[in-house]
Structures are given as C-alpha cells and as structure tokens.
Amino acid sequence: MQLNIITEQLTEAGRKIEHSSFDIVTKEAGEHNYSEQQWHLVRRMIHATADFEFNGLTEFHPLAIEAGIKAINNGCPITADVEMICVGLSKPRLQHFGITTHQFISDDDVITKAKAENTTRAVQAMRKAHSNKLLDGGIIGVGNAPTALLEVKRLIVEEGIKPAIVIGMPVGFVSAKESKDELALIEDIPWIITRGRKGGTTLVVSAIHALLALANSDGA
C-alpha cells in the first residue's frame, strides 16, 4: 500500500529504512488473519516493539478501521491516559488533519479528586475529559492505566458516551487483561485492543500513526 509522504518519514533515507523494516516484519510474521488495513496497524505495532506476538494478540471491532479513518479525517480530538502518548504522536501529522491531543493525568484538580475519592488519577483524568466534552465523538487512547480503560467502559455503559473509537492497550499485571476483555464486550462502540497483559503507550502511538496514514491514503 503506497502512502502519502505527509504521514511517512520526512527524509528519503528514513522512508527507505522504514519500508525495509515493514517488509521484514511481513516476511517474518508469516500468515495472519487480518485484513489489509488491519495488518497495516499490526505491522506497525510489531515494527515499534519487535514483538511478533501482536500478530494474534491484536483484535479489532468489525467497524474499527472504518471508524478510525473517519475520526481522523474529521479531525476528532485524541484523549490519552498519559502524556507519553501525546508526546509520541507526530505533531505535523496531527496538524495535517487538525487533530488536537489531550491528557489530564498530572492536573492538580485530578490529583486532588483522586485522593479525596480514593480512586486513581487515571479514573479522574477520564472523568475530567468527559466533563470537558472530549470523549463523545473523540478518539480515546489508553496504553498505560487499566483503570482509565475501565472508567471509559463505565462511561459508555452508565453515562452513554459514544467515542468515535477506543484504542485500549494498557500494559501490566493488575486489571490490564481484564480491562481489555471488558472493552471487547462493547458492541456499539468501535475498539482496538491487545489481549492479555501486553500493551503499552508505544502500541497506541503506533496504531494511531497507522490510522493517520490510512486516512491520508484514503483521502489522497
């Protein structure tokens, strides 16, 4: 799949290395059960981590790719559980689509409420994003905090928020697997997850970059 230079490496040397890496990933990964567009995401995730287990661990809601591309083209805001996701995303690529990023994990009011209500900062950060009207119709990326993803699911089920897509890939040993299993039970909101304990902010960044590239190619 040929993608526009806007969402690729800025130099010819960089593009050559990246394309060669993708070719190696595809060759060494062997068979997979993903569509071409789904594989574009999974391949980039493997490329970012050198972990071929994501060929299989990554799962997609049936409408995930379509919803992700639409959200990108519509310039929907991205809300992340931690700053690392926002920092990792390419600013020029986001600016091309008019996309803003948001995270509230270290805000003073978030910390105060988390202490007062005996919850995590990640829970309160998602509640603040909801109160700021960023989650309805927005892109949500969770790569670190399982409690953030559990709160997103609660907001969907109990308060009726309708994100454009949720990319749920928290890593860890406490509730990481379970939070993703819970999200996968949602039928009417598109999602992308990694099963089990594996995940991380790098994967969320990779998935969003892949969606940016697909959206740019789709609109080229």
Active site (catalytic) residues? 47
Tokens for 127, please give them: 């509640």
Burial status of residue 36 (CB atoms within 10 A of its CB: 0-12, 13-18, 19 or more): exposed
Nearest to 43 by CA among 17, 59, 24: 24
Residue the block writes with tokens 């969003």: 208
CA dihedral (216, 130, 79, 93) positive or negative: positive
- The Cα–Cα gap between 27 and 159 comes to 45
Letter string b/e over residues 74-85, b meaning 16 or more CB atoms within 10 A of that residue's CB:
eebbbbbbbebb
Q: Could you identify the residue written with the tokens 């803003």?
A: 100
